[in-house]
Structures are given as C-alpha cells and as structure tokens.
Amino acid sequence: MSSNRSSTKILGFINEDTSSWAVAALVFSAGTVLTALLALANVEGYQRQLRQRFDLLAAERVSRIQDRLEGQLRRLDSLRRFFVYSDDVSEQEYNGFARPLLTFTQAYSWAPKVLDNDREAFEKSARDAGVRNYSIRELDGVSSLAVANRRPVYYPVRFSQSRSTLELPLGFDVNSERVRQETLERAIWTGEMAASPHMNLVGLETENSKGILLVAPVQSRPHPETSSLGALQGFLVAVISLHKMMTEGLPLSAEDNLNLTLEDITGAPESDVLYQSAANAAASDLSITKTLNFAGRIYQLKVRPTSVFIGANPSSNDSLVILGALLSFMLSALLYVLISQRQRALRMVEQSTMQLRQREQQLRTAHSQLRNVLDAATQVAIIATDMNGLITTFNIGAEKMLGYDSSDICGVRTLCELHLPSELAAHVNELSQRYDRVVDTVEVMLIEAVQEHGHQANDWTLVRHDGSHLQVNMQVSPVLDEHDQWIGYLAVCLDITERKRVEEELRTMSVTDALTGVYNRRYFQERLQAEVFRVEQYGGMFSVVMLDIDHFKAINDQLGHAVGDHVLQAICERLCHRLRRSDVFCRLGGEEFMVLCPDTDSDQAYGLAVELWSALRTQPVDGVGRVTASFGIASWREGEGADALLLRADSGVYAAKMAGRDRIQPESS
C-alpha cells in the first residue's frame, strides 16, 4: 500500500505528498493571470464589435437621410416637368399631381412670375378663380402677411398643396424677402434647383416652422428647332421641415440608438445647425461624419451613439473577470479537495464498483422501458439501423406513418430504400460535391450524422407502402456502444406535410394581389431589379407596358366598390390570356397595372400593348359596359435605372390620358 502511494501521482504530475494549500494557491494565481489576459483581449474585441455595430447602424441612417434628400429633388423635378410639358395647369390638376408627392415634404407651391404692370390683372384673375381676397402679400414682421409693396417682379404663391392644417399662404411673394430672393436668383443663374439656407417657414405649425425651401425654375417649353431654354414662367417651391424629415418614420428620441446633427457648411468656416436630435449623445469616441450635397448647399451629417445604444451593447468584461475568478477558485478548491481526500477517494472506488453493478441492472430495466416508449410514440417514426443502413428497429409510429409492418422491414430493407429515388440521387450528387468524394447511396442519409454530430435535420420525401409520398423532417443521430464506438444510427421522423402546405400558401400570398390574383407590386419590383441586373451584366433588352383604367373612379363612385372590384378581376382575367409565359403581369395598386416583358424591344412591346388594348375595348364587362385603358410603353436603355424606366412609362400613360384616353402612347425616341 505504501509503495503504491509513493509512486502514484495525481493528474500524472502532482505528488500526493505535496501540500494541498500550496497547489491550490498556485492554481488560483495562474487562473488570475489567465483571467487578466482574457479580460484585456475581451476589451479590445468589445471595442471592435461596438465599432462594427455602430458603423452598420450609422451607415443605414445616413443612407436613409441621403435617400430622403434625393427624393425631394426627384419629386420636385417630376412636378417641374409636369408644368413644362403641360400647356396650362389648373388648380385641380396641380392638386391631383402634387398631393401624392407630399412625402417628407410639408408643402408644394407654384409661384408664377408676375410683372408689376400685370399685378392688378393677376390678382383679379385669382379672385375670379375662387380665391377670396387674393392679393400679392409679403411678410409683415415674423409670420403675419400684409399687402406687398411695389417692385418690378413678383413670384406670388398661386397654388399650394400642404400637409398643414393652417391657412395656405396664397399670394405670398417669395421674392419679397432677401434670403428667399437670393435663392431664387441662384436658381435662375444656374438653371437648376436651389436650396435655401435655414429659415422660418410660412404657413406651418410651430414645430415644423424651421426648415428650408427647395425651388425649381420652370421655363416655357423650348421651340423644337432650337436647343435654348424657354422664358422663365415661375418657380415650384418645396417647403421642407427638417425636423419632420429627419424624424418621421424613425424611432422616438427616448428609444433611438443614434444622435444626429445636420449642419449647413456651405459658408464654411461658419456653419448653421439645421437639425439636432433630442436624444443626447453618449460620451464615446464613436462618430461618423458624412458630407451631403443638396441643390447647391453643402450639408454635414454627424452621427454619434446615444446612451440607448451603449446600454443595448454592454461589455461582458465584468462578467468575464467574475467568471474567471470563480473558475480559478473552483479549480483550486477542486485540487485541494482532490489531494486532501485521496484516501477517501480510494474507499469510494469500492463503493462505486458496487454502484456500477446496480447501474448495469438498471440499464437492463431501462432498455425494456425504452422499447415500450418506442412503441408508445405513435406520432413519431423512430427507425434504427446498423452501420450499413439495414433497419433494425421500426416502431409503431413508423408503421402507421409509412404503412409497413415491422416484420417486413427489420433485417430486410435499408433506410434508403424507403426514400424517393430521384430525391436521393440528387442528394448523392450534392454530398459528393460537398465532400469532394463519391458518397455511396447507403450512407447518403447517414453521413451528415457523423459530420454534424447528430444535430443536423433535413427534409426528405419517403415512399409509403401504397406508393404515395410523405414529406418528413428527419434527424439522424449516431448510436454508440459502451466504448463510444459507432454501432448504428437512429432516425427520428416527423410528418411535415401540413407545414409544407402552409408554407407554400404563405409564399403565394406574399407575391400575389389578394383581389385579382395577379402578381403584386413587391414581386414586380423584385423581378424588375433582377431584369435590370441581367441586361446590365449579360446584355439584352426588355420593356414594360403600363396601363391605367380610364374613369375607374367614376365606376367606383357611381356603381360601388364591389362593381369596381369585379371590373378589376374581369380585366385581369382577360389580359392574362393575351400574355406570353415569360411576361410578368402585376397590379401596382388601384387601377394601375404593369407588364414586364423580358427580351422584348419597343416595337414588340407596342404590338403586345395593341393586343391588350384591343382585348379590353372589344368585349364589355358585365354590368358595366365597355371599359378602356390608357397605355404607356418604355424600353430599357443602357445605363438607365429602374426608377427612370418606370417614370418614362408613367409619363406615357399620362400623355395618353391627356390625349383623350383609350389609346396607346408610343415610346418617344
């Protein structure tokens, strides 16, 4: 006994005679040093992770603000082109076009050019058109308006479409105040849109009264034989509340992760703060600064984290230190107990031997109970195989699910024989390529249990006894013996037929219009972007055909929305029969539809539009009569984006409407 004790070493290197206190102290000291090193590395990793998360959030917010500024330019430009290409715009037409554009914009106004000699006639024409007490006015103080003094030229607000509930500032002369006048002069000089400095806005609530003006000069349509611009007709003005634009649709200040500061640095080194987030910036070195160019102004957007962001990304360093100290203490205590209780452990060996014998008996009992559990699991198919895939266990759930009797399966058939052959062959090819070796058919359903340590579950199609197919989710795990050696595999299968059916229904609902059954706007946008990418990468062509049902509002108003829905359904059913398999037909919304035509040039798209137009007008809709539509066509041009293409198609529809409806507007060269 003494000889054995002198030669035995704990853990292979600690002598039993060594002081347990000395070993515990040494281990605790080593653990403390290791914990300090890990804590230092964790601090560096935390800072990198915090920077990555902040950069991701900040880049997304900067991109969103930049998109909103660019959207202001696009919408005002579309309104300007509406004026340029219209002979005369009435107030009703203006309101109808400008109202849908009020996105992150407080108001759109039309300020025509009026000479002093024409002032009285202009004011009278406005009053005759229904604007009571209309006169050209200017600011009298901070926000009140008074009759304007005489000056050579006025740019009074004639039409205005606003999100504000306050009285519209009709008649306000944009040329009556110095800052606004300088902005107009800059737009005239450059011939392009111009943004004003930060100013007090007219006709808006107090919380939205600080902002900028974006003005676009409107020239008369140039003569076809000359390239020079026409005479200045006036200005279109977008009234932008920076507070509204920077906060609308974004998290509340108490919940926002980011602090934003927008400054106008056009007149650097002096700068003007245009917007400052209500949420205070946290004390941190994290920040991103982005310079934005907006209609002749230079803005600087600075993004910093708030306390909400810091709180949502806490450091785990304190926990690591505590855990390291705790583990060090526990390990030292463990070694102390191990050494000091060596003799007790020797006595426990004998007790453990007796317990193992009892455990062996318990395992025999458990095996019998497990057999009963397998038979009781009637909703789950449990199939066990040997190393060659030959089935050795086939529970009652498997019998009910697949229609086989266990006596006809066990020891006779392999698991892969129950599988759909075509799906099995495809998976064999996939796994052979993945593991760069030939995968045998027998092991195709079992190899992933080895590679993924038994945690990989896959969807398979099994063949029932009657030949029908069953979709299951199968998880294959290795079966180990007492020496941890593989002796077979255990497959647990769940019937997922109903789940697959629901998933397919949900996928269909996500890409189709609920009323008409044709594709929806979301699916069309995805296909359009894919088609633009295809032709940019590999060449080719495609076109879009846009149609808008004529007088559809009158149908809804006079006959009711149920009849309007019936008209939309009948039109979709009729047009679908005239489309090719490759065409993508979708409903953009309301009475507006779009056809995406891959590998189709302008002439072919026009021919398709003629067929659709003819199909609509030649056959009346039950209960309504003949229903017509206005068509616009646009073919992709090299370097053109999706938005520009759709805008040209929309312009074609608008031109067809203006020309009398029930017609096709050919694509302009």
Q: Which residue has the tokens 């704990």?
A: 10
> In this model, does residue 533 exceed pLDDT 90?
yes
Q: Is 108 exposed, middle or buried (0-12, 13-18, 19+ CB in 10 A)?
A: buried
**Are the beta carbons of 192 and 76 closer than 8 angstroms?**
no
- For residues 188-195, average pLDDT: 92
Cα 125 versus chain centre, distance: 50
Task: Provide the 10 A C-beta neighbour count for residue 566.
Answer: 17
Task: Give the pLDDT score at 303.
Answer: 92
Task: Give the pLDDT score at 455.
Answer: 58
- For residues 408-416, average pLDDT: 84
Give 636's pLDDT tier (boundaries 50, 70, 90): very high
**Are the beta carbons of 212 and 205 closer than 8 angstroms?**
no
Lowest mean pLDDT among 39-48, 153-162, 525-534, 549-558: 39-48
Which of 263-277, 433-447, 580-594 shows the highest mean pLDDT? 580-594
> In this model, does residue 530 exceed pLDDT 50?
yes
- Give the pLDDT confidence of 302-320 residue by residue, as tens digits: 999 988 888 888 877 777 7
> In this model, does residue 5 exceed pLDDT 50?
no
Give 360's pLDDT tier (boundaries 50, 70, 90): confident
Token pair of 370, please? 């497990």
**Are the beta carbons of 459 and 445 closer than 8 angstroms?**
no
- For residues 88-104, average pLDDT: 90
Pick 334 or 534 by higher pLDDT. Answer: 534
Token pair of 141, please? 């103080």
> In this model, does residue 632 exceed pLDDT 80?
yes
Task: Provide the 10 A C-beta neighbour count for residue 514.
Answer: 8
* Separation in Å, CA 346 to CA 21, 24, 118, 186, 332: 21, 21, 115, 96, 21
CA angle 480, 482, 485 (to 5 degrees): 40
Give 237's pLDDT tier (boundaries 50, 70, 90): very high
Cis peptide before 269 (omega within 30 of 0): yes
- For residues 565-594, average pLDDT: 91
Summary mean pLDDT of the chain: 84
Q: Where are the beta strands (DSSP E) in 397-552?
A: 457-463, 469-480, 486-495, 542-549
Pick 192 or 15 by higher pLDDT. Answer: 192
Q: Is 52 exposed, middle or buried (0-12, 13-18, 19+ CB in 10 A)?
A: exposed
- Give the pLDDT confidence of 74-88 residue by residue, as tens digits: 999 999 999 988 888
Pick 267 or 284 by higher pLDDT. Answer: 284
- For residues 628-649, average pLDDT: 92
Per DSSP bridges, beta strands 664-665 and 629-635 are parallel
- Give the pLDDT confidence of 444-503 residue by residue, as tens digits: 666 665 665 555 677 888 888 888 888 888 888 888 877 778 788 888 888 888 778 777
- For residues 609-627, average pLDDT: 89
Cβ partners under 8 Å of residue 299, min gap 6: 69, 262, 263, 264, 265, 274, 291, 292, 293
- Residue 591 annotated to the active site: yes
User: 32-39: which pairs have CB atoms within 8 A and are 24 or more residues apart?
Assistant: 32/324, 32/325, 32/328, 34/324, 34/328, 35/320, 35/321, 35/324, 35/325, 35/327, 35/328, 38/320, 38/324, 39/317, 39/320, 39/321, 39/324
Lowest mean pLDDT among 152-161, 355-364, 380-389, 584-593: 355-364
Lowest mean pLDDT among 240-244, 266-270, 527-531, 632-636: 266-270
Task: Give the pLDDT score at 623.
Answer: 83
- Give the pLDDT confidence of 261-278 residue by residue, as tens digits: 998 888 767 778 888 888
> In this model, does residue 194 exceed pLDDT 50?
yes
Could you give the maximum distance between any two Cα atoms of the chain, in Å? 125
Percentage of the chain lying above the pLDDT 70 cut: 88
Backbone angles phi, psi at 233, to 5 degrees: -100, -25
- Give the pLDDT confidence of 58-68 residue by residue, as tens digits: 899 899 999 99
Out of 430, 591, 638, 667, the active site residue is: 591
Distance CA 613, CA 509 (A): 28
